[in-house]
């Protein structure tokens, strides 16, 4: 017996995704003008649209339909909403693209206070995964569409807020130097990965809804649950490894940029010191303080230049 693998073109989802894509493309084209010194790159457009495509796969493709019948596919859907789509969408942003909204974003962060703190993002991300995998809530989400939508909104919001602190082109309350980003990531990936390990090695199935489903693809309820837990644990480890590598490269780039700025500042200061020393240098026959000598030199230069101009 084969599971239902149909597409689900919910009008609300279709309209929302098309609107997101259209607004981004419009803003991206608006910023690609000759007058803009830092136009957004083409790859930013591509990764943003890929993020929208990932959302479409999670919410409209057979992944959504299969997730209602097979726990492992439901877990794939959760990982797409929690990590993959938010990462790609945020990477599509630049300071130039967000310029009209940057001041508003900072105002919101100031007003919501704790909700914009990195510690809240860590708690929200971890709690969203652990709480929604409580059997009673998980079964309710699988049985009732309204609860299912709330579950998806929770995962998407938690993922976007969590990755915003790490990848946002504008500053957030998370320090991005040193080991801080890595500690921030480990605090969630380890705890959520542990949940995946518990599901993988659970001695029996704990989700009644999926126990009552036919054994599609030859998966018993216990093996289906073990596969779902393995997907969660492996995805968390892979994403953490890629993200750490990305953060390390970004840290090196920022260090190189800081060194270049420091060298330029040192060169400017050296030039200023040399100019000051040359102005204040006293040659034989000149009498007076350095400032008086410099003023006398400037007056002599003006007097010499005046006949030539006449």
For each of the chain's 310 residues, which pLDDT tens digit applies? 689 899 989 999 999 999 999 999 999 999 998 888 889 999 999 999 999 999 999 999 999 999 999 999 999 999 999 999 999 999 999 989 988 777 777 777 777 778 888 899 999 999 999 999 999 999 999 999 999 999 999 999 999 999 999 888 887 878 777 778 888 888 898 899 999 999 999 999 999 999 989 999 999 999 999 999 999 999 999 998 888 888 788 777 777 777 777 777 877 877 777 777 666 554 555 455 555 656 666 676 676 666 555 5
Query: Does the residue 292 lie in any domain?
Result: no
Query: Does the residue 278 lie in any domain?
Result: no
If you search the block for the tokens 């126990």, which residue do you land on?
Answer: 211
pTM of structure:
0.79
| Neighbour-count burial for 203-222, b at 16+ CB within 10 Å, e otherwise | eebbbebbbebeebbebebe
Query: Does the residue 70 lie in any domain?
Result: yes
If you search the block for the tokens 């230049």, which residue do you land on?
Answer: 305
Query: DSSP E strands: which ranges in 24-81?
Result: none
How many domains, in total, are found in the chain? 1
Q: How many angstroms separate the CA atoms of 204 and 108, rounded?
A: 45
CA contacts within 13 A on the Cβ side of 188: 29
Query: Does the residue 154 lie in any domain?
Result: yes
Query: Does the residue 157 lie in any domain?
Result: yes
Q: Which domain holds residue 203?
A: 11-263
Cα dihedral 241/165/45/32 (nearest 10):
-140
Among residues 114, 74, 72, which one has the least CA distance to residue 220?
72
């Amino acid at each position: 017996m084969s599971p239902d693998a149909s597409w689900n073109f919910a009008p609300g989802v279709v309209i929302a995704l098309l609107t997101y894509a259209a607004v981004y493309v419009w803003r991206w084209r608006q910023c690609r003008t000759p007058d803009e010194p830092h136009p957004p790159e083409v790859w930013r457009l591509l990764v943003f649209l890929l993020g929208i495509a990932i959302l479409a796969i999670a919410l409209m493709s057979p992944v959504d339909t299969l997730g209602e019948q097979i726990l492992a596919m439901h877990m794939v859907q959760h990982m797409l909403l929690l990590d993959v789509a938010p990462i790609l969408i945020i990477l599509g942003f630049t300071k130039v693209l967000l310029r009209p909204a940057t001041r508003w974003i900072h105002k919101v962060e100031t007003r919501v206070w704790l909700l914009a703190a990195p510690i809240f993002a860590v708690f929200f991300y971890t709690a969203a995964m652990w709480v929604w995998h409580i059997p009673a809530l998980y079964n309710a989400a699988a049985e009732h569409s309204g609860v299912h939508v709330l579950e998806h909104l929770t995962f998407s919001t938690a993922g976007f807020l969590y990755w915003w602190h790490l990848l946002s082109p504008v500053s957030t309350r998370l320090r991005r130097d040193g080991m801080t980003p890595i500690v921030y990531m480990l605090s969630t990936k380890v705890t959520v990965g542990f949940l995946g390990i518990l599901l993988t090695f659970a001695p029996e199935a704990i989700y009644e809804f999926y126990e009552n489903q036919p054994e599609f693809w030859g998966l018993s309820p216990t093996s289906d649950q073990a596969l779902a837990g393995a997907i969660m644990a492996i995805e968390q480890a892979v994403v953490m490894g890629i993200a750490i590598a990305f953060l390390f490269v970004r840290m090196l780039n920022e260090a190189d940029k800081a060194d270049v700025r420091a060298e330029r500042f040192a060169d400017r200061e050296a030039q200023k010191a040399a100019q000051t020393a040359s102005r204040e240098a006293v040659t034989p026959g000149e009498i007076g303080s350095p400032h008086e000598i410099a003023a006398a030199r400037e007056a002599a230069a003006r007097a010499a230049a005046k006949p030539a101009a006449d």
